[in-house]
Structure formats: C-alpha cells, structure tokens
Amino acid sequence: MIRLLDSTPTIRLGGMTGMSGAEGVTEQVIELRLPSRLGYERIAMDTAASLARRMGFADERIDALRTAIGEAVTNAIEHGNQADEAMKVVVLLTVRPNELVISVSDQGRKALEVEQTKLRPHIADVFQRADKGGWGIWLMRELMDEVEFTLAPGGGNLVRMVVHLERMPISDQ
Amino acid sequence: MIRLLDSTPTIRLGGMTGMSGAEGVTEQVIELRLPSRLGYERIAMDTAASLARRMGFADERIDALRTAIGEAVTNAIEHGNQADEAMKVVVLLTVRPNELVISVSDQGRKALEVEQTKLRPHIADVFQRADKGGWGIWLMRELMDEVEFTLAPGGGNLVRMVVHLERMPISDQ
Amino acid sequence: MLEDELNVNIRHRDGVAVIDLIGDVTTFAEEKINGAYRQVTAQGHRYILLNFRQNDYINSAGIAILIGIVTEVNQNGQKLAVSGLSPHFQKIFRMVGLAQYAEIYQTEEEALSAFRRLSGVE
Amino acid sequence: MLEDELNVNIRHRDGVAVIDLIGDVTTFAEEKINGAYRQVTAQGHRYILLNFRQNDYINSAGIAILIGIVTEVNQNGQKLAVSGLSPHFQKIFRMVGLAQYAEIYQTEEEALSAFRRLSGVE
Ligand SMILES: Nc1ncnc2c1ncn2[C@@H]1O[C@H](COP(=O)(O)OP(=O)(O)O)[C@@H](O)[C@H]1O
Ligand SMILES: Nc1ncnc2c1ncn2[C@@H]1O[C@H](COP(=O)(O)OP(=O)(O)O)[C@@H](O)[C@H]1O
C-alpha cells in the first residue's frame, strides 16, 4: 500500500508512515480549527476540495464533498456551537490510499438528537411548514458514501463522512 | 472596527468577538495542522488563498501570499521537522480588520540560525555554488509586509508573516 | 470579494420577469431573494425565471429560501423556471424535488423560449 | 490529478529546442528538467526555450533547478528564453535575477521570433 501511494502520480500527498497501524494501513491527517461564524464553512470547503483534487477525486465528487462538508460545518457553527464565535469547529481530514475521511465536530452547546439524523424531508410536506429547512443532514447522507453521527471526545457532536476514491487498488501484498 | 468588519461586504468572515483585546481589536483565528510531508504545503497555500480571497485581497497579493506560505511550510517540513511525517506543521491564520497574520511553526528538530534568516542571495554568486538554493526566506521577506522569526511555544521555529489589506480603514473611534 | 454577497437584479424579457442571482445563495440571501420575488409579483408577473450564475455557492439554507418562493409561486398561480445552475446544483435540485415545481434549463434563452411556447398555448 | 507531477515535452521549432514544462516546478521536477536539458544539449541545440504553463506552482526549489540550467547554458554558450509564465512568476524571475540570463516572453511565438532575429544577426 505504501508503494501504491508513492507510485501513484496523483498522490504526491499520500501517507507513508504517518499513523501506521499494525496492518501497515497508512494515513495522513490534516486538522483545521475554525471559529464558529457563518462564512468560515467556506474555508473548510476549499481546504477539503484542495486536498480531494490532489488525491485524484473526480470533479463531481469534489462538488459533492464541498456541499456535504459545508452543511456539516454550518450545522456545527449554528446548532452545535450556537454561533458562539469563541467556540471552535474542528475538521479532521484523513487521507487514506482509497478514501478521504472527514470528521466535523463542535463543542456541543446543543445536543443532536438521533431522530434528527435520520430525517428524509419531502418537498410536498415542506410546503406546508413554516420552516422550509431541514435538508442539510439528508444532503450529506445522499452525497457521501458513509455518514455517521457520534459524540466527539470532548462531548460535542461529531459527524464522520467517508468518500471513496473510485480507482482500482493495486495491492502489493 | 467591529462595525467596519460587519458592514464591509467583502468580509462576511471578519471577526466580531473572537479574541477581543482590551482595545476592542477583534480577530478570528483559523488553525491548520499538517503532516510533515512535501506536497502538503499546497493545502496551506490553498487554505490561505481561500481566506485571503474572501477578505478582499487583490489577486497579486494572494499570489504573493501563496508563494510565501508555501516556502514557510516547505521549510518547516524539510528543515524544522526533517520530513518526519509524524511531526506536525502548525499554520495559524489570524484575520484582522486590515491584515492577515500567518504564523508557521515546526517542532524544531533542527534549529534555524539567525544568520540564515537574513540572507540575500545574489544569482551571480549562486552560479558558483553547488547548492543553487537558499531563496525561500528571502522570497518571504520580499513578498510579505512583515516577516519575523522567533521560537514557537513548543520550542520549534516560528515564522510570523503579515500582509496588509490595502483598503482605507474607516475607524469608528 | 463581492462574490460572497448575493446581488439580485431584475430584468423583463418577453413578458418574463428574470431575477438574476449573482453570488451565493445562503441564509444571508433571504431578504434580497424574497424582496425581488415580491416586487415582480406586485407588478403582476406570472412568468418568473431565477437565473443563477454557474459555480456560485448554494447551501441547504438557500434551498429552503427557494422552497419558500416555490410555495408562494404555487399559491399565486405563477410559473417558475431556473437557469444557469451548474450540473452539481441541477442534480441537487432534482434530488430535493425542486425540479418538479420549477423547470430547469441550462440557459436563460432556453428558459425564455419554453415560456414563449407556454404562453402561446395558454 | 496529473497536474501535480511535472511532465516535460521536447519539441523542435525553427531551430529552437522548446521544452514544455507542464505541471509543478518543485524539487520533484529536478530529474525531468535536467534530463530534458541534457538531451537537447547532446543534440547540439544552441537555442533553448523553457515554455511554462500559466498558473502552475513554482517554488524556490524549482528556481534553484532553473538556476542550475542557466549555469550550464552559460558554460555551454547556449541561449535560453522562457515563456508562458504568469505575471506573478515573471515578477519573481526578475526579483531573483533570472531575467538577466533568460529573456522572458509572454508567449512561445514571441520567444521564437526573438530567437529568429538573434540567429539572423549572429
Ligand atoms: N451539529 C449539530 N448540533 C446540534 N444539533 C444539530 C447539529 N446538526 C444538526 N442539528 C439538528 O438537526 C436538525 C436538522 O439539521 P439539518 O438537516 O442540517 O437541517 P437545518 O440545519 O436546516 O435545520 C437541525 O435543525 C438541528 O436541530
Ligand atoms: N523551519 C526551519 N527550521 C530549521 N532551519 C530552517 C528552517 N527554515 C529555513 N531553515 C534554514 O535556513 C536555510 C535557508 O532557508 P531558505 O532560504 O528557505 O532556503 P532553502 O530552504 O532553499 O535552503 C535552510 O537551508 C535551512 O538551513
């Protein structure tokens, strides 16, 4: 796997020894900490897009990633951190040979209920409601390969999303 | 100053209360932690460029910033952290009403000598040398408004660079 | 950069009210979009085109604003179309179901000729 | 994306060896650039054009490689020109002093016609 990363021209970025596990799985982690102010989600979107581009993701996957990470960070700012600018949103971008893992965590001023993570809004119903929102989490689920909600180590809300690189792995084992 | 930030359409990003000092100076800090592997400086360049663009910097200032931060992070990776991928390069981007402050720190596996921070290479001399390098720090100094070398809190090397936003400050004091 | 703000511009072409959305369609855009819609509605327009600019940022808060517009368009018996969306946002509009209530066209011209056919038939 | 790698391509136009540098000019580019230079030198070329692609990434390690090329160009009595640099890198080439040893042209065509005038005079 190390060889795959290093011989692939698209991944000048790939990990070598970074956080090697027992199985020789390699990954590299980028951490981004943002103030809880709307607008800063754009920085997370651009950083993730820059990374995904260099990993070799197709443009449409990058667009999907931009939208998903934008929604996750916006929720962390608005809901999880209640737009208290002193609170940080932490974005971890983990580069693996065949996937990019994105985790977005907040400081949990407001807890995310499990039911809220499973909503599938229908536009015809939404017309009847005063609040036309509620599309963010559903969009993340639709656009990413894996989406999972857990508690962050510090007690906040954490969304973990995975996008797979659609490239055939050439295993050297 | 708060008013300036909030009334300026180009700074949807500007700080409000983030790290307010006694004088009411406001700033917002973005932190980026990168693995010490060449190539990852591109992520720092793209993140800083994304931020600078939203702050309203002119394209040529953004190009200068990209080059300067790229050199600083490359040095931190190659020299300060000796390309040990487990070591982190920490980039702090501080958004102020009229400037962007960039600090890049490494874990100091190799100390940066004061004389090295003051070199002004001349190409005619460089032709005679086997090593044609040594342009990085000089480029940072040429391209940024302020450049300063100190020790990082953790003992590593720290470069602090400032770029001024060329927009007339409208003080409300 | 001004791209971070939404600028709204209203034009009238062939009996269609064209609302250009230049910039990002997020929560900050709400007043401007609703204001533009109310203005063309007060002018009695039945055909409305929301003309986006490729590659601008639209998020779920922006989608909620657009669903609000569709709600009123339906109540007021108007016809809404959209143009200028990137393929990514065309896909998202389809996923959300907005495409059932507002025809999606690549360009303003395509949307206008579709409105012409429609007004000829009606 | 392949843009992260440097691709080098050698063409011959009007007696000039044109070396296209497609991609990033950083420490990883050293072998390819030096290899291309040695190849055209072995072929006896006197006029060499390094043709960059606007907006690619060039860093100080790339500049060091180019200074290495200039050193050899001077020793071998060749003439070097560059084209395709963005305004930002034109500025940096001037700051570094590279512009004194390699004429900077906006486009390949401008560089080639300058070489034509030069070879006519010599
Ligand atoms: N990070 C979070 N912390 C706390 N609550 C959250 C978080 N993310 C989402 N929620 C809750 O889940 C709901 C649904 O989120 P979402 O689908 O993104 O739609 P919207 O943000 O438009 O309401 C939110 O209204 C909020 O109550
Ligand atoms: N972050 C750093 N940590 C330790 N040493 C450094 C650091 N940055 C620069 N240096 C030293 O300063 C010298 C000059 O740096 P620079 O001007 O960037 O040129 P180059 O990296 O091409 O040698 C380097 O060769 C290195 O010895």
- State mean pLDDT over B155-161: 97
**Residue among D56, D66, D12 at smallest CA distance from D34:** D66
Average pLDDT value over all residues in chain C: 94
Tens digits of per-residue pLDDT, B5-38?
A: 333 434 445 444 444 444 445 899 999 999 999 9
**Distance, CA of A114 to CA of A95 (rounded, Å):** 28
- State mean pLDDT over A67-74: 98
**Alpha carbon of A48: minimum distance to chain D alpha carbons (Å):** 15
pLDDT in the model for residue C4 = 60
* Rounded distance from Cα B93 to ligand 1 centre (Å): 28
Q: Looking at this predicted complex, what is its ipTM?
A: 0.91
Tens digits of per-residue pLDDT, C16-54?
A: 999 999 999 999 999 999 999 999 999 999 999 999 999
Domains of chain A, residue spans: 10-164
Tens digits of per-residue pLDDT, C42-52?
A: 999 999 999 99
Domain B10-164 in CATH 3.30.565.10? The answer is yes
* pLDDT above 90: percentage of residues in chain A: 79
**Distance, CA of C85 to CA of B154 (rounded, Å):** 48
| Domains parsed from chain D with CATH numbers | 1-80 (3.30.750.24)
Q: Where are the alpha helices (DSSP H) in C1-122?
A: 30-42, 60-75, 87-96, 108-121
* Rounded distance from Cα B134 to ligand 2 centre (Å): 7
Tens digits of per-residue pLDDT, B112-154?
A: 999 999 999 999 999 999 999 999 999 999 999 999 999 999 8
Q: What is the DSSP string of A22-83?
A: TT----EEEEEEEESSTTTHHHHHHHHHHHHHHHT--HHHHHHHHHHHHHHHHHIIIIITTT
Q: Which two tokens mark C84?
A: 């200028």
C56 or D2, greater pLDDT: C56
**Alpha carbon of A122: minimum distance to chain C alpha carbons (Å):** 8
pLDDT in the model for residue B10 = 42
Residues of D with CB under 8 A from a CB of B: 4, 26-28, 57, 59-61, 63-65, 67-68, 70-71, 74, 86-88, 92, 95-98, 100-101
Of A15, A19, A30, which has the smallest distance from its Cβ to B33's Cβ? A30
Least confident of A22-31, A107-116, D30-39: A22-31
**C to A contact (≥3 Cβ pairs closer than 8 Å):** yes
Ligand 2 pocket residue status of D60, Cβ below 6 Å:
yes
Ligand 2 pocket residue status of B74, Cβ below 6 Å:
no
DSSP A78: I
Of B122, B127, B136, which has the smallest distance from its Cβ to D60's Cβ? B136
Average pLDDT value over all residues in chain D: 94
